[in-house]
Amino acid sequence: MSDSEVCREPRYSLPDSKERMGSLTTEQVAFYNVEGYLVLPKLLDENDLVPIKQALNDKVSEIAAQMISAGKLKNALEHESFQYRLAKMFEGLTDTDFLDFGRSWRDRHPGYFIFMSNPKILYAVESLIGPEIFSNPVYNTRPKVPKVAAGAVPWHQDRSYWPGANANPVITVWIPLVDANEVNGCLQIWPRTHNTELVQHHHETYSGTSYTEVDVEAESLKVFKKINPVSLPIPAGGAILFNDRCIHMSTPNASDHVRWSVDLRYQPTDQDPMPQHGTGFLCRSFQQPEHVATLEDWLAFRPEHTP
């Protein structure tokens, strides 16, 4: 498939008669409201993953070229599979070598926009916050490389990264691009902790990333001590939706391949767009559909389209 084919904004088959009500069932919405999260194991298919995988393959090729130039890699391993290529590139290297390229990636590649605009994702989000949806600027790709400490993410709330923002709720949509399990470091959720406000937190010091980490002994968490965290293995293309106050984490990758995942975030359009974190975009609107951002708008860092 050529780059032009991958980057073209696609037409998707949309759910019938759900244009203003989303795609989740009443039971799914109720579960989300009570537990703070929801698992959708078959939200996307392989074709839906093509744009983001193309973006990441391009990114990995850029990293390979830099590593070759620095004498840290002999060849770009272009014939390795998506699941294994980055892992083999960093075999025998250190955590520091990996962190030279960042703990997570947030590039302006067309594949990201196409992926974030996928109606299957937006219809699910719409069920929770309504049809006026803004794509938050804090989206990330997390390549959890085997035996790299930066892959382990401690217990935290996403809200700890924007504590002063007037944005509630922000919905995180966590999507693995390979099957995520307890060996390669699937997501773990502490249910019902979305019912607390921002918990006291600090920056951890053991992974080299300074991730925020909640103080698990905080007074506000005592009421949740009897609730056990849940491990959420999920196949590639599935999705875990959760509230930005819901405490979650992921363990190290003990497999031989990369546990690729993408976390996207969406919020109602009347909330803080958080420009201090970058430029998000209007991705759905029934009130002003002519202002929904196009790929060209997003690449030019415009949050919406001007007709």
Q: Where are the alpha helices (DSSP H) in 40-184?
A: 46-69, 85-89, 95-99, 110-116, 119-129
Reported as a single tens digit per residue, the pLDDT across 204-255 is: 776 666 788 888 888 888 889 899 999 999 999 999 999 999 999 998 899 9
Packing angle, helices 26-35 and 119-129, rounded to 10: 70
CATH number at residue 235: 2.60.120.620
pLDDT for the residue numbered 5: 39
Distance, CA of 120 to CA of 75 (rounded, Å): 38
The residue assigned the tokens 């992921």 is 250
The answer to whether residue 9 is domain-embedded is no
The answer to whether residue 130 is domain-embedded is yes
CB atoms closer than 10 angstroms to residue 208 = 16
In the chain, which stretches have pLDDT less than 50? 1-20
pLDDT for the residue numbered 229: 95
The answer to whether residue 102 is domain-embedded is yes
pLDDT for the residue numbered 1: 41
The answer to whether residue 57 is domain-embedded is yes
The answer to whether residue 89 is domain-embedded is yes
pLDDT for the residue numbered 99: 86
The whole domain housing 115 covers 25-299
Can you give the pTM of this predicted structure?
Answer: 0.90
3-state secondary structure of 296: helix
Taking all residues of the chain, what is their mean pLDDT, rounded to a whole number?
A: 89
The answer to whether residue 66 is domain-embedded is yes
pLDDT for the residue numbered 150: 66
Report strand pairing: 201-203 vs 212-214.
Answer: antiparallel
The answer to whether residue 214 is domain-embedded is yes
Q: Domain total for the chain?
A: 1
The answer to whether residue 10 is domain-embedded is no
pLDDT for the residue numbered 53: 97
Q: Closest by alpha carbon to 29, among 125, 121, 116?
A: 125
Q: Closest by alpha carbon to 77, among 93, 55, 92, 60?
A: 60
